[in-house]
Each structure stands twice: as structure tokens, then as C-alpha cells.
Amino acid sequence: MKLPVKEIFIPPDRQRTKVNESKIAELAVSIKTKGQWHPIVVTEMDFVRFPDRSSHLKYMLVAGYRRLLANALLKEPEIEAIFKEGLSHLESEEIELDENLQRENLSFQDEVRAKARIYEVRKELYGDGIREVAEHVGESRGEFWEDVRLAKAMQEHPELAESKNKTQANNKLRLMARREKLTEQAQKGEIPSQTSQGLDLSQRVFLGDCLEITKTWPSNSIHCIITDPPYGINLDIGETKKGNAHPVIYDDDTYDIMDLTARVASEAYRLLKDDTHAYFFFDIKAYAKIFKSLSEAGFTVEPIPLIWVKPGPGQVNHPDSRWGSGYEAAFFCRKGHRPLLKQGQSNALTHDPVPSKNKIHPVEKPCSLLRQLIETSTATNETVLDFFGGSGSTAEAALQLQRDFRVIEKDQAYYASILERLSGNVKVESPKSLQEEMQSLLDEED
């Protein structure tokens, strides 16, 4: 049957929240040339739920929102429709959810919300458990539950919905759970105190502001510094880090970071022994400012920086107008005249980055890269310092090469993660409330 478009009401609480305008235009062209293959679904207007709606509205849309929009784009006064009489609100919602999940790809946000909602709807209508609903939508129980879990987590943590895809959102959720657990452990003092080799971590890993902690350390006491200060590019909203997988990063305001880097450079020069090396990673756009700060601190700075090359296409938010960012830069600095202990190397260092799902910190450097720097500039048992401990990868690389180390981290959760990492006791846990809910759902079915 054909119904007048002007008599069809679109409920404002429908499940789909976004549509792709170009896809609607494509659908309109298809309908114009091939006809409307699938009618929309409507039911009688519910004036109990929507008492203020105009009396000329006789039907309420159940399914077919995209087809209705495409029809409107064609300025057709009527549309093919199926009328379902006497549908309850839950039955109408079930039909809409089923159609959305089976047709055009939804955004991951709408997809997981639809799955969470259809689980609730079918549980109320038919008493279905998660196994039955997963079978209904054609997925494994585990895959379906992961999406339901993410939808529930998005209600508690709306920032998860800002992720660029489902994988990143799940990684962010995993890291949130990890941060929460680590912070709790740190507050309770339930953190390791020794490495697997028996080294005392309390004398090597420090919690707090790096400049406050090091101001009491003796001068000329460190053999090498490898550090990665915040880049001063407002990382949370930066052009190359949109939708970052990590829920917490650090203060990264440009003005403050330039000042911090200059002060750290001076402190680094004081702490280093004579005839030693330092490596400072930096944002290439800040080349001149960082070079000046390091030179004024007293270092002899190699003007051609080291380049860490990351295999692959690189990362960028605007691939249509910008090349992918596939490298990071580091200044090689000397205090005195120590020769390189590994010679004949290129200043282009090629190392795979840490996979996002394995990262502890958003700007974590791979141990292989750090080992190359440590081997080039230190001997066995010498001490390496990292002012910005982050994930603890510098310390782990030093341990692997039988070097001593000192790392400082001001974030309590990252500090606890460094201790876990160096103790060989890294464990990532799912949010407790979600774990419990999943178990209760499975218990219902067994």
C-alpha cells in the first residue's frame, strides 16, 4: 500500500541517531531508477506517547527511516508501506532494531547501543537470554556480549563514544579498567617493590614531579639520559591524535611544556657525569625552541636529529590533504667528548611502534628503539635516567641490557604500571561491575 508521506510521524526517540547524507542521496538515486524494493513499516499513531502531535499524523514510523528520507529527497508525496496494527512500543522497537542491525552499517556507537537495547527488549518480550539474542542477530555469544558491555560502559563513560572505532573504544575501556585498578593498588600500597632480578624499585622508580625529585640528587651522578617530554602540541586535541585510545594523558599546553623542557634540560646537564650523552625526543615543529633550550643548558647538540621511522602509512586525521606522520625526532646531545660505543649506525632508526592494544601509555616507545640508544651510549652497570617515565619502557630496556636506571612519573596509575611492568607482574583486568554482570547473565542460561 502507498501512504501519504505528510501523514507519517517519525518518533524522536528512534534508535538510529545519525545517517550518512551521501548514502541517502545514493539510495534516492537507486529508488528513482529501480524503484523501492522494500516498503517502510508503520503502525497507528500513538497519541498517548505523543499527545501534542498534530491530528493530521495518522501513522508512526517503525522501520525504514533511510527510505523515508530518500523518498522525501525525491519529493515524492507517497511511499510504499506495510501497516502493522496494534504493535506495542517494545514490538515496534524490536522491528526497528532488527532492521538497523541487518541493513546499512551503523556507526559503532549506534551498533553497540542497538545490540544492548535489543537484548533488553527481547528479554522483556520473550524471556531471551544473551545466548538466544546473539543467535537472533547472527553473532557468537562472546562477540555479542563484548558489544553489549561496551554500550553499558559508554553510558558510564561518554568519552568512550568519541573513539574512532570499536577496537579503539574497547582498548580505551581496557585501559580505564587498568588505571582504576592500578590507582587503587597504589593507594593501598599493594604494588611490587622489587624487579624479578631482586633490584629494589623504591630506589629506582619515583612518583612525583621530576624537578622536585631530582633537585636533591648529587651532580655528576648519571651516565645517560633518555627522555620523552610532553611535546607541547595539546595532545588531547592534537591534529594527529584524534580519538586517542588513552583516557588520560597529561597536561600538554604549549607554553608550559616549552618552559618545562628548558628546566629539565638544565637539570639533565647538572646530573650527567662528564663525557656522557643525552637523548631528548621532541615535536619536529618545535625544533628551534628545543635546540635552543638544550644548547643554553650547556649541551653540544647534533643539529641533524635522530629520526625514529615507524613502518607503515603513518597517522593523520586528514589523509586527503596531509601526508601520514610516520616518524618522531630526537636530539642527540653530548656533555663532553664520550665516543659512541656502537659506531657506524644510521641516524634513521627503524623500529615497529608498540601496538595500540598493548600500550600502557599513549606515547610509549618500543624497547627495541631504547635499547639501541642505551647500547650506543652506555656500558654495563651504568645508570640511565628518564625524567618522564610513562610506560617504563626505558627502564625495561635498561634492565634487559644490564644497566641501572632511574625513572620518574607523576601520574599515580602510570607509576604503578611501571612497578608492575618491572616486577614482571603485568595484568590487565576488565571492569569489575561488567565482569559480574556478564557472569550473572551466563548463570541465567546455564
Residue 120 binned pLDDT confidence (cut-offs 50, 70, 90): confident
Residue 426 binned pLDDT confidence (cut-offs 50, 70, 90): very low
Dist CA 201 CA 212 (whole Å): 19
Among residues 137, 35, 27, 48, the alpha carbon closest in space to that of 79 is found at 35
Which cell numbers in the block locate residue 66? 533511510
pLDDT of residue 95: 63
**Domain spans, the chain:** 2-106, 134-192+430-446, 193-423
What global pTM score does this model have?
A: 0.62
pLDDT of residue 393: 95
Decide: helix, strand or coil at residue 130: helix
Residue 317 binned pLDDT confidence (cut-offs 50, 70, 90): low
Residue owning grid cell 643554553 = 296
- Angle formed at CA 67 by CA 93 and CA 83, multiple of 5 degrees: 55
Helix axes 254-271 and 287-297, enclosed angle (nearest 10): 30
| Contact indicator for 377, 336 with CB cutoff of 8 Å | no
Decide: helix, strand or coil at residue 193: coil
Q: Which residue has the higher pLDDT, 219 or 192?
A: 219
Residue 216 binned pLDDT confidence (cut-offs 50, 70, 90): very high
| Statement: residue 246 has pLDDT above 70 | no
Q: Which residue has the higher pLDDT, 196 or 112?
A: 112
pLDDT in tens, 370-406: 999 999 999 999 999 999 999 999 999 999 999 999 9
pLDDT in tens, 179-192: 777 777 767 766 66
Q: List 332's β-bridge partners, or say none.
A: 279
- Give the CATH superfamily of 193-423: Vaccinia Virus protein VP39 (3.40.50.150)
Dist CA 374 CA 392 (whole Å): 14
Q: Which residue has the higher pLDDT, 221 or 248?
A: 221
Architecture of domain 2-106: Alpha-Beta Complex (3.90)
Residue 71 binned pLDDT confidence (cut-offs 50, 70, 90): confident
pLDDT of residue 105: 64
